[in-house]
Every structure is written in structure tokens, then in C-alpha cells.
Amino acid sequence: MISMELIDEFRRRTHSSYEEAKFYLERNNGDLLDAIIDFERSKTGRTNHYQGRYHAPHDRYQQDYGHRLTSLLQKGFDTRIFVEDNKSVLFSVPVILLLFLLPFWVIIVVLFVFFMMLGYRISVRDVKSRNIDVNAIFNNISEKMRENGRPAEQQAPSDPQTGDKDKKDGYKEYTIE
């Protein structure tokens, strides 16, 4: 059994979590020096990582990077450029769309100057988009990738969903409206 003092010493020397300390100390039968060496080797990639017992800290950094990326993308969709006159809004464009059109910056600048010469006002506003939730989109993609990565369960292949058979003509009809 690994003592709490041994875990604390491992954590103090490696700046790791309790879970990491316990894992490496158990893996090295309580030998602190071997556990630290094993920990350092696994962090530099010189040895094979353990097989999915828990996520390493670098995964947390990747998740943090992913969270920052999704929040930046969401901010790009939420920040909009409005072209409006005194009575109404002519149109609004998300800033992220203008970033994708950056190669055509001359056309965009000329277009905005044209609207300003016509008397339209151009403003930048932070409006919460109810239509686009980037975090939900990435979570859905991640969930689908995890589902596809799992081994298939022993199920009979399902038949594709089809429309109702038309009894009179003997064929199936799909209507898209």
C-alpha cells in the first residue's frame, strides 16, 4: 500500500496530481526514485504511455486550448458589424465572416466606404447569437468521434429508414418541401 507521505513527496517533486502520483508509485511498487524517472520519461514521450487509466495533464492543456478556440470562434460569431440608416438595419455581418473574406479586403473596404458615402452608419456590436452555439457543435463532433472510436456492439445491422410504401403504385415516395 502506498502511503500518503510518499504520494505527497512525489507530488512535491513532480508537481503532479494525486492520481498521477498514485499511478506511478503503484506502477513502480512504491519506489519513489523509479516512479519519478518513469513519470519524467512518460512526459517526454520516451516510453509508452499507460493504457488509458486516466488522462494525462497535457490532455487538460489541449482541452483548455480547445475551450479557448471555441470561445474565440463564438466571439467571432457574436461580434457583428451593422450597416444601418436612421430608421433600420440594412444588414449585419459576423466579424468571423470578414476574417474569412480577408483576401478580398480591398473590396470590403471599398464597400464599407461606399455605404458610408451613402449615409449609412457602420457600427460594431457584441450581440449574443441564439442561432450559433460553437461549443455545442464541437461537443457534438467530439461525442460522435468517441462513439465511432468504440468497438461496435454485437447488434444486427439495422435496415435503413425508408418512406412508407404506396400500396397503389408499389413504390416509395419521399417528399421534401
pLDDT by residue, tens only, the chain of 177 residues: 789 999 999 999 998 888 888 888 988 888 999 999 988 888 765 444 444 444 455 555 556 677 788 888 888 888 888 888 888 888 888 888 888 888 888 998 899 899 889 988 888 888 876 777 787 787 788 788 888 876 545 444 555 544 454 455 554 555 555
Residue 38 near residue 69 (C-beta atoms within 8 A)? no
Q: Is 70 a domain residue?
A: no
Instruction: Please indicate, yes or no, whether residues 129 and 86 belong to a single structural domain of this protein.
Output: yes
pLDDT at site 58: 52
User: What's the total number of domains in the chain?
Assistant: 2
93 lies in which domain range? 78-140
pLDDT at site 151: 55
- 83 forms bridges with which residues in the sheet? 91, 122
Q: Is 165 a domain residue?
A: no
